[in-house]
């Protein structure tokens, strides 16, 4: 038990030091824009269908759940606003980020881990290039940007999924569903959701590049680092979810209830 706790603390410390290295590299010797764009393009294109599908189903699930509850109140008019608000602010970012941690995070960690165990990273160092600059930095920034974009796209799809299910399941036509969204969902809510997306993207990028970069020990090691990437990312996402909720609550208090 004590050993497990120490491992976790070691992981966190190593991750923070790794991020420090990456950021220092970013300031001192930034990577080429070309490789960054290539990375963004690849990650986005690769994960867009999965994310869109996940977003669609998350929105659909929330609509079905809310329909059952709201029917008891006879307030189906609120359905569009409530299910969209719950999805955009909380459930959507959380579940889609979980999915991305499997898709983007595990993929990157497997890729970097394979590079590490097949000694490609050492080869780059031997050629006199900085692996942090050439390999990690474009991936890190690329994952942050494209994950943010993917999460936002997933949220858009969740609104679409919710709308479709409202039409099929609750019998609310799309126009009415969309018309009620602005009554509950304020710019502040959307801002909270996007802020969460950004924080999750940062967590995801940090964990997967760190875990992939520090892989040791052959094919089994790659598998192990993929597993621990996924678990660590999810735990990190849940914890930062709580922290961002606290921050958004504090921001709401600071700027008054009128902003809502």
Partner 1 sequence: MTLPLFLWQSVRATFTAPYRWKDILIQLEFVSWQSLPVILFCLCFAAIVTIMESSFHMKLVVQNDALVPGFAALLILRELGAVVSALLLTSRVGAGLAAEVGSMKVTEQIDALRMLGIDPVRFLVVPRLIACTVGGFILSIIANLACLYAAMVVSEIKLGYSPGAFITGMRAFVDFQDLVFASIKGATFGAVIPLISCYFGFRCQSGAEGVGSATTNSVVASSVSIIVLDFVLTYIFSHFY
- State the Cα–Cα distance between residues 123 and 97, nearest whole angstrom: 33
Candidates 122-130, 135-143, 144-152, 225-233: pick the segment binding partner 1 (CB under 8 A): 225-233
Phi, psi of 246 (to 5 degrees): -60, -45
Burial of 228 (0-12, 13-18, 19+ CB in 10 A): middle
Cβ–Cβ contacts within 10 Å for residue 242, how many?
A: 9
Size of the residue set binding partner 1 (CB under 8 A): 59
Nearer to partner 1, 20 or 179 (CB): 179
Q: Is 111 in the site for partner 1 (CB under 8 A)?
A: yes
Q: Pull the structure tokens for residue 247.
A: 């921050």
**Selection from 155, 135, 154 nearest residue 208 by Cα:** 135
Phi and psi based region of residue 129 (left: phi greater than 0; alpha: psi -120 to 50; beta: remaining): beta
To partner 1, the closest distance from the beta carbon of 44 in angstroms equals 15
Q: Is 114 in the site for partner 1 (CB under 8 A)?
A: yes
Helix axes 187-213, 137-165, angle to 10 degrees: 140
Q: Is 260 in the site for partner 1 (CB under 8 A)?
A: yes
Q: Taking CB under 8 A as the rule, which mask of x and - marks residues 38-77 in contact with partner 1?
A: ------------x--xx--xx-xxx-xx-xxx--------
Radius of gyration of the chain (CA): 21
To partner 1, the closest distance from the beta carbon of 106 in angstroms equals 4
Name 178's Cβ contacts closer than 8 Å, sequence gap at least 6: 80, 163
Q: Taking CB under 8 A as the rule, which mask of x and - marks residues 185-224 in contact with partner 1?
A: ---------------------------------xxx-xxx
Binding residue for partner 1, selected from 98, 149, 177, 200, defined by CB under 8 A: 98
- State the Cα–Cα distance between residues 158 and 97, nearest whole angstrom: 13
Binding residue for partner 1, selected from 31, 40, 43, 95, defined by CB under 8 A: 95
Residues that bind partner 1 (CB under 8 A): 50, 53-54, 57-58, 60-62, 64-65, 67-69, 78, 82, 85-86, 89-91, 94-95, 98-99, 101-103, 106-107, 109-111, 113-114, 117-118, 169, 184, 218-220, 222-224, 226-227, 230-231, 233-235, 238-239, 241-242, 245-246, 249, 260
């Amino acid at each position: 038990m004590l050993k497990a706790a120490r491992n976790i603390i070691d992981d966190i410390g190593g991750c923070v030091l790794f991020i420090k290295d990456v950021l220092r590299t970013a300031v001192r010797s930034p990577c080429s824009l070309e490789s960054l764009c290539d990375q963004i393009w690849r990650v986005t294109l690769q994960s867009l269908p999965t994310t869109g599908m996940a977003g669609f189903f998350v929105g659909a699930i929330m609509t079905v759940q809310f329909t059952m509850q709201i029917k008891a109140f006879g307030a189906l008019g609120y359905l569009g606003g409530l299910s969209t608000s719950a999805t955009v602010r909380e459930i959507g970012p959380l579940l889609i980020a979980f999915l991305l941690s499997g898709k983007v995070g595990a993929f990157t960690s497997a890729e970097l881990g394979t590079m590490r165990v097949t000694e490609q990273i050492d080869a780059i160092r031997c050629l006199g290039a900085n692996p942090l600059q050439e390999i990690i930095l474009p991936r890190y920034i690329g994952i942050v940007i494209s994950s943010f974009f993917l999460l936002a796209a997933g949220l858009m799809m969740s609104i679409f999924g919710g709308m479709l299910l409202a039409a099929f399941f609750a019998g609310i036509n799309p126009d009415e569903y969309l018309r009620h969204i602005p009554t509950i969902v304020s710019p502040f809510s959307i801002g909270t959701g996007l802020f969460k997306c950004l924080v999750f993207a940062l967590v995801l990028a940090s964990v997967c590049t760190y875990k992939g970069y520090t892989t040791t020990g052959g094919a089994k090691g790659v598998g192990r680092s993929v597993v621990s990437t996924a678990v660590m990312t999810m735990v990190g996402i849940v914890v930062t979810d709580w922290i961002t909720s606290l921050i958004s609550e504090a921001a709401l208090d600071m700027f008054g209830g009128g902003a809502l």
